[in-house]
């Protein structure tokens, strides 16, 4: 079992469609011991059955990452449970609705700051505050999207946040590498989750990815989960500061693949699924 003896915390499970759930499940199946967190009381009940399934009903903790005290309380709980931990999964993002559609230049400062605080600074703060309990062979993983590298319609403010998140991964990797802590991100293809539902015209993003990625389908949380488990495990012991794409190869495409009819009319390759 690849994760036997590893202990870690997973932040960002909202339900069984969450990417964090896919990662937690893959780690658990390979023998990891987990703790998971929820945002507020409203979600505690919803997460209880998932915690049970993941074998961590005793280790289900509140953590709103916008509240520094909750991060410190989380560290104390993890220290009581495990002493040291070997991995952190940061699968958290938030931007107010007005940051995810409309004109980019209209984004208000408050909206910008909230998104950067929850979606970017929280990775830096978690890494710093949990560092005293991270083992000297540990791994931190966060989740990004291609909209942090190139323009994607409606992704707007979250694109800026993901760009800053990806650079934070690299700076954290350098800063923490000397303590035996690796830091990586997975840039996942679009997946229908609660957070994704907030992005304007998300169903079009799914269709576009399906049509234009080399594998001609969308990715699943199980696939992101397996890749995440690899980055959290010793299989990736010399990998740090990386943005690892799990997007069916979409990011390598410089131009949509076009096929031509007999009469020379171009049309985009499409496998018929939606």
Contact positions vs ligand NAP (CB under 6 A) = 12-14, 18-20, 39, 43, 63-66, 91-94, 118, 143-145, 188, 190-191, 193-196
CA distance 265 to 137: 56
Catalytic residue among 145, 230, 245, 250: 145
Q: Which tokens in the block code for residue 152?
A: 């994607």
Respond yes or no: is residue 121 known to be catalytic: no
Q: How far is the CB of 5 from ligand NAP (least distance, A)?
A: 27
Burial class (CB in 10 A: 0-12, 13-18, 19+), 183: buried
For ligand NAP, which is the closer residue by CB, 67 or 136? 67
Respond yes or no: is residue 179 known to be catalytic: no
For ligand NAP, which is the closer residue by CB, 188 or 229? 188
Number of Cβ within 10 Å of residue 107's Cβ equals 19
For ligand NAP, which is the closer residue by CB, 135 or 183? 183
Q: How far is the CB of 113 from ligand NAP (least distance, A)?
A: 13
Catalytic residue among 21, 38, 146, 155: 155
For ligand NAP, which is the closer residue by CB, 65 or 160? 65
For ligand NAP, which is the closer residue by CB, 138 or 145? 145
For ligand NAP, which is the closer residue by CB, 14 or 135? 14
Burial class (CB in 10 A: 0-12, 13-18, 19+), 188: buried
Active site (catalytic) residues: 145, 155
């Amino acid at each position: 079992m690849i994760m036997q003896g590893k202990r870690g915390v997973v932040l960002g499970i909202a339900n069984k469609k969450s990417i964090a759930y896919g990662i937690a499940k893959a780690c658990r199946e390979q023998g990891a011991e987990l703790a998971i967190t929820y945002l507020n009381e409203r979600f505690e009940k919803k997460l209880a059955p998932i915690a049970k399934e993941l074998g961590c009903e005793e280790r289900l903790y509140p953590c709103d990452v916008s509240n520094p005290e909750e991060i410190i309380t989380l560290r104390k709980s993890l220290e009581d449970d495990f002493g040291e931990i070997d991995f952190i999964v940061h699968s958290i993002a938030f931007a107010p609705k007005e940051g995810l559609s409309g004109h980019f230049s209209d984004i208000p400062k408050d909206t910008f700051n909230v998104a950067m605080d929850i979606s970017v600074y929280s990775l830096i703060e978690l890494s710093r505050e949990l560092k005293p309990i991270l083992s000297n062979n540990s791994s931190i993983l966060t989740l990004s999207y291609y909209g942090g590298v190139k323009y994607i319609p409606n992704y707007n403010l979250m694109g800026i946040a993901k760009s800053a998140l990806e650079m934070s991964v690299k700076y954290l990797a350098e800063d923490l590498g000397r303590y035996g802590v690796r830091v990586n991100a997975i840039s996942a293809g679009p997946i229908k989750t609660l957070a994704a539902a907030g992005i304007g015209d998300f169903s079009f993003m799914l269709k576009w990815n399906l049509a234009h990625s080399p594998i001609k389908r969308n990715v699943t949380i199980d696939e992101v989960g397996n890749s995440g488990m690899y980055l959290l495990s010793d299989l990736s012991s010399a990998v740090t500061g990386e943005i690892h794409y799990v997007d069916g190869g979409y990011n390598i495409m410089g131009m949509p693949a076009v096929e031509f009819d007999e009469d020379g009319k171009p049309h985009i390759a499409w496998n018929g699924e939606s």
